[in-house]
């Protein structure tokens, strides 16, 4: 896992470590790691044109000391000062190594344009809000330059705690971060400004508390694997209540996500027409037709048969019949995933969430706004804050969809999914995700693990489906393409 900590906790760990070390040791460790990474990125250090963008804080000092190390190896290093303050010890070290200081307005633009490598040390992890001048102009010039851009700890203009970007921000090719990841490096839009993130160990480990946000590596995603004694029941039976005469596609796509998601059996129940379509597309599924009439949701669930988890909501409708089915599923002691129309029903029947069994909710920002009574724009602006609040308020595992999907449970680190892609912004992909997570729940995964693993595999499948070998480069993909690519996504983890 990549472990990320809130800025305040990072600062506290730094203070505790610095109290035990000679003055300046921590900055030298950071500068050494930064300089080493930059040296690896350059074809040759000797003669390379390196420009440092430095503000008045410690990140500016890190950049200056790293520049001094590169200058001593023969690089032509220039520092561009932003603002009235500069780290004096770092500047002295740079000059002693042969580097020079430039005026931002007079010489900065030309130096940035000609640079082979640019180190961004304009602001640090404490920076919030939009960049002011001349920082904003320098950030824009660096982002447009042809040289490689390396951000020091966090790209300037990115909120290290949340990933928010307000106005100009540096677009880095590589971000060298120190001690631990910061949440803003893992969550969009900040994550999209970071490029490749390199973590430098500066000795904070023993002073850091439990992480606030984690992002998995492939090895951390471990969906259930069938063993020698497995059969379709041991692998997990998932029940799906989805689709209707109006939204038949949701039924087919959700069932496909479950079938290709490793379920031992899929039991699907809906009106006659979506059942017919599911039978045609997924003959593996065991289907039940829900006839119009007085039967209660509980009676219908009994007819569907034994399952290990329920998926309720995609295309189901929001009327009394749908509410009865959702109420019956949530009255069981089984894991239940609620999506789409099911979330709309829950917005008016939050009392149904008073249960002990695992519940997974998979809203986008608009659906979450109805569930918790918050403004959609506020949720989009502070996704990390709101997904935590929702998990606590709703007593559920909440998967907030977006370019960075976040999965939260109360008193647990938030999971940030690293495989998200804009290719998933197409109708039906959420239905596929619901079926996939339902299959993982039925297979025995804990709710938080199933939701995080489902998001990871879902994003990976979309990336594989849109690769040149599967599709012409740059062509769009559909939800059906994601289903088709799911087996390749599972294989990629092995």
CB atoms within 10 A of CB 477: 23
pLDDT digits (tens, 9 = 90+) for 55-66: 999 999 999 999
* 61 among annotated binding-site residues: yes
Query: What is the predicted pLDDT for the residue at 438?
Result: 98
pLDDT digits (tens, 9 = 90+) for 304-343: 999 999 999 999 999 999 999 999 999 999 999 999 999 9
* 55 among annotated binding-site residues: no
* 120 among annotated binding-site residues: yes
Q: How far is CA 130 from the centre of its chain?
A: 23
* 60 among annotated binding-site residues: yes
| pLDDT at 455 > cutoff 70 | yes
Query: What is the predicted pLDDT for the residue at 123?
Result: 95
The SS3 assignment for 85 reads: coil
* 315 among annotated binding-site residues: yes
pLDDT digits (tens, 9 = 90+) for 130-170: 899 999 999 999 999 999 999 999 999 999 999 999 999 99
Query: What is the predicted pLDDT for the residue at 104?
Result: 66
- Average pLDDT value for residue range 438-461: 97
* 62 among annotated binding-site residues: yes
Give the span between the Cα atoms of 6 and 315, in whole angstroms: 39
* 179 among annotated binding-site residues: no
Identify the band that residue 234 occupies on the pLDDT scale cut at 50, 70 and 90. Answer: confident
* 123 among annotated binding-site residues: no
247 in Cβ contact with 231 (< 8 Å): no
Separation in Å, CA 433 to CA 71, 143, 170: 51, 35, 33
Query: What is the predicted pLDDT for the residue at 472?
Result: 61
* 126 among annotated binding-site residues: yes
Query: What is the predicted pLDDT for the residue at 475?
Result: 73
Q: How far is CA 165 from the centre of its chain?
A: 16
- Average pLDDT value for residue range 391-417: 97
Tell me phi and psi for residue 215, to 5 degrees.
-130, 130
* 124 among annotated binding-site residues: yes
Give the span between the Cα atoms of 135 and 219, in whole angstroms: 39
* 156 among annotated binding-site residues: yes
Topology given in CATH for the domain delimited by 2-215: Rossmann fold (3.40.50)
Give the span between the Cα atoms of 356 and 90, in whole angstroms: 57
Give the span between the Cα atoms of 7 and 178, in whole angstroms: 12
Domain ranges of the chain: 2-215, 219-493
Instruction: Please state whether beta strands 213-215 and 2-5 pair in parallel, antiparallel, or not at all (unpaired).
Output: antiparallel
Identify the band that residue 107 occupies on the pLDDT scale cut at 50, 70 and 90. Answer: confident
- Average pLDDT value for residue range 109-129: 93
246 versus 386: the higher-pLDDT residue is 386
| pLDDT at 255 > cutoff 70 | yes
Identify the band that residue 99 occupies on the pLDDT scale cut at 50, 70 and 90. Answer: very high
DSSP string for 52-76: EEE-SSHHHHHHHHHHHHHHHTT-E
CATH code that applies to domain 219-493: 3.40.1190.20
Give the span between the Cα atoms of 165 and 179, in whole angstroms: 23
| pLDDT at 473 > cutoff 70 | no
| pLDDT at 31 > cutoff 90 | yes
> Please, which residues have CB within 8 angstroms of residue 192's CB and are 6 or more apart in sequence?
403
Residue with tokens 């400004």: 193
| pLDDT at 227 > cutoff 80 | no
Report residue 3 as tokens.
């472990």
- Average pLDDT value for residue range 94-111: 88
Question: Please, what is the average pLDDT of the chain?
Answer: 94
* 403 among annotated binding-site residues: yes
Q: Which of 5-19, 34-48, 97-111, 312-326 has the lowest mean pLDDT?
A: 97-111
- Average pLDDT value for residue range 215-229: 87
* 180 among annotated binding-site residues: no
Q: For 412, left (φ over 0), alpha (ψ -120 to 50), or beta?
A: beta
In 3D, which of 391, 395, 365 has the Cα closest to residue 378? 365
């Amino acid at each position: 896992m990549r472990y990320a900590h809130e800025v305040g906790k990072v600062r506290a760990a730094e203070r505790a470590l610095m109290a035990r070390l000679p003055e300046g040791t921590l900055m030298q460790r950071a500068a050494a790691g930064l300089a080493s990474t930059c040296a690896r990125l350059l074809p040759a250090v000797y003669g390379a044109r390196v420009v440092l963008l430095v503000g008045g804080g410690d990140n500016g000092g890190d950049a200056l000391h790293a520049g001094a190390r590169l200058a001593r190896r023969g690089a032509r290093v220039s520092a561009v000062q932003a603002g009235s303050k500069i780290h004096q010890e770092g500047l002295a070290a740079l000059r002693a190594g042969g580097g020079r200081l430039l005026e931002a307005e007079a010489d900065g633009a030309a130096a940035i344009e000609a640079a082979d490598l640019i180190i961004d040390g304009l602001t640090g992890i404490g920076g919030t809000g939009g960049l002011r001048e001349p920082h904003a102009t320098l950030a824009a010039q660096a982002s447009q330059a042809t040289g490689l851009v390396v951000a020091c700890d966090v790209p300037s203009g990115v909120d290290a705690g949340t990933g928010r970007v307000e106005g100009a921000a540096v677009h880095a090719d590589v971000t060298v971060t120190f001690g631990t990841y910061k949440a803003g490096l893992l969550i969009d839009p900040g994550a999209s400004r970071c490029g490749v993130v390199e973590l430098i160990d500066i000795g904070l480990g023993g002073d850091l508390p439990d992480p606030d946000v984690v992002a998995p590596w492939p090895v951390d995603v471990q969906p259930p694997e069938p063993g020698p004694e497995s059969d379709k029941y041991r692998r997990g039976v998932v029940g799906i209540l989805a689709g209707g005469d109006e939204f038949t596609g949701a039924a087919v796509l959700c069932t496909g996500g479950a079938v290709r998601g490793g379920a031992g059996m899929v039991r699907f129940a809906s009106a006659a027409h979506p059942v017919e379509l599911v039978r045609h597309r997924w003959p593996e599924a065991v289907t039940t037709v829900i006839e119009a009439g007085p039967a209660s949701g509980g009676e219908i669930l009994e007819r569907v048969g034994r399952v290990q988890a329920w998926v309720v909501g995609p295309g189901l409708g929001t009327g009394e019949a749908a509410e009865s089915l959702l109420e019956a599923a949530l009255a069981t002691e089984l894991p239940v995933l609620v999506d789409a129309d099911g979330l709309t029903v829950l917005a008016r029947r939050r009392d149904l969430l008073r249960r002990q069994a695992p519940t997974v909710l998979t809203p986008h920002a608009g659906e979450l706004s109805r569930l918790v009574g918050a403004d959609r724009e506020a949720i989009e602006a502070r996704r990390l804050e709101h997904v935590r609040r929702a998990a606590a308020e709703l007593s559920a595992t909440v998967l907030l969809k977006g370019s960075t999907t976040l999965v939260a449970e109360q008193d647990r680190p938030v999971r940030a999914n690293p495989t998200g892609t804009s290719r998933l912004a197409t109708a039906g992909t959420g239905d596929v995700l619901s079926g996939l997570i339902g299959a993982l729940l039925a297979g025995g995964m804990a709710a938080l693990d199933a939701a995080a693993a489902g998001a990871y595999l879902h994003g990976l499948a979309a990336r594989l489906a849109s690769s040149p070998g599967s599709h012409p480069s740059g062509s769009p993909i559909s939800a059906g393409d994601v289903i088709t690519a799911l087996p390749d996504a599972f294989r990629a983890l092995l």
